[in-house]
A and B are shown apart, each in its own frame.
Chain A
Amino acid sequence: MDKEIKAHVQQLLKQDKRLDGRKLDQYREPVKVEYGIAKTAEGSAKVQIGETVVTAGIKLSIEKPYPDTPDQGGIMVNVELLPLSNPKFETGPPSINAIELSRVIDRGIREAKAIDIKNLCIEKGEKAWTVSIDICPINAAGNLFDAAGLAALAALKDAKFPKYENDEIDYKTRTTKKLALSQEPLPVTIIKIGDKFLVDPTLQEEKAIDARLTVATTPDGTVSALQKGGDEPLTIAEVDEMVKIALEKGKFLREKL
């Protein structure tokens, strides 16, 4: 499938050129973050990278903690690939891509310990806050990983607790208490085509991917999560190189928050 476009992308990369004329490590313009787009969510954000648009919403609810972690709240990440965002997406149970995307975002936030889940506990073994992060692409035009990761982080930063009194949550009244974030993890996806590394692939470039690595990093340069995709293997030197690019590009994306 798509042999011609793949050959074309590969041939251009030999001259360090991309289909849309960008540099290899350049993101599409504009990179935009908009906060508070949904009034019914506790926190929400819309992120645009080039033509790709992704929204994320945070919902806070009170659940019974899991029996093995009675003093901890929970984090849930769910991605729904809406059919309106790309003709390739179908309705029905989440596809393998949606599951991978949600798990990569989840791991980045969870393993960086961005949300202190012990703080979310209200009553040990009985009640704790659960943070649900829902991500929906509005237009999936490539590089959903970075856009979704940025949207999730922006929405988390926007989130405020609802009023909680006498065992009841009043979602209509928001308090000024913010959801405390101890870290701000941000995923950056680096793709490998031939022997070249590039960021922010378009849909056409995604068809020509040999390997990809999503690196979630925190501002101090800690790598909190990795996810490898694609058919080709990566050497240790290549992973090092990709992490370096991810740290640099993470800084760039962080400025947009």
Chain B
Amino acid sequence: MSKLLIKEKEIVVPGEALAEGMDYLPGTGTYRLNDKIIAKRLGLVNISGRAIKLVPLSGRYLPKFGDKIIAKVTDITMNGWIVNINTAYSAFISMRDATSSFIKKGDDLTKYFDIGDYLRAKVVNVTSQRLVDLTMKEPGLNKLRGGRIIKINPQKVPRIIGKEGSMVSLIKKKTNCNIVVGQNGLVWISSENFDNELIAEKAVRKIEQEAHLGGLTDVIEKFLDKLMGGKK
């Protein structure tokens, strides 16, 4: 007879048995050992039907095809830019993927992106050797000018974005900021008004800290209303 050993939303540690019996299926972050399902990481349990999934509490970003991320230029090569994407492996943007404008032979590449610049890019390929290729040839993918970059726990990114972007658009609306959330845990915040920029950062930090709690959107809405006070 199959039996659940834990409750929904419980925090489990690696090696902890989550369920007994073959009726349950191991989802992401878990594996099967004999007839038991065991946790692979430290995280919250999510039971959906027969599948048991684990939402990790922390951990590095792993590049995935199609992710929109924020990258920092670390080096310039003959045919493109090497960028840091906040993961264990460095990524590459080739010249043809970086810009739609024509780059002449022997042109100075720092004219386009210099070392230290932040770019918004999309992952187009992750090889088995974990070489990551990026592209910027899509609307909305460009160099990020001005503003500030903050680093958050990559596992909390889904909470910052919210359901269909509800959370991030709430902050955008309330504080009048431009916000770009990269899947790799970098967030870019920019605003004409500096005080609003600061409030937006505080809101993002608060979400990161309280990501495991329910009803977060209401909490953040009240939080933002309080900080913004009467101003617009």
Interface residues in chain A, defined as those with a beta carbon under 8 Å from any beta carbon in chain B: 1-5, 7-8, 11-12, 15, 17, 19-21, 204
Contacts and interface: CB of A to CB of B under 8 A. Distances in A.
Chain B contact residues (Cβ within 8 angstroms of A): what range? 10 to 19
B116 A17 contact: no
Nearest to B194: A17
Interface stretch (B17-25, B40-48, B53-61, B144-152): B144-152
Nearest to A9: B148
B116 A19 contact: no
Contacts of B149: 5
In this complex, which of A2, A3, A4, A21 has the most chain B Cβ atoms within 10 angstroms of its Cβ?
A: A4
B194 A15 contact: yes
Interface of B: 114-118, 144-149, 194-195, 198
A3 B198 contact: no
Nearest to B149: A5
Contacts of A8: 146-148
A4 B148 CA distance: 9
B198 A4 contact: no
21 contacts: A1-B115, A1-B116, A2-B116, A3-B114, A3-B116, A3-B117, A4-B117, A4-B144, A4-B146, A5-B148, A7-B146, A8-B146, A8-B148, A11-B146, A12-B194, A15-B194, A17-B194, A20-B198, A21-B195, A21-B198, A204-B148
In this complex, which of B117, B194, B195 has the most chain A Cβ atoms within 10 angstroms of its Cβ?
A: B194
Given A4-B117, A5-B148, A7-B146, 16 more contacts: A1-B116, A2-B116, A3-B116, A4-B118, A4-B144, A4-B146, A8-B146, A8-B147, A8-B148, A11-B146, A15-B194, A17-B194, A19-B148, A21-B195, A21-B198, A204-B148
A17 to B, nearest CB: 5
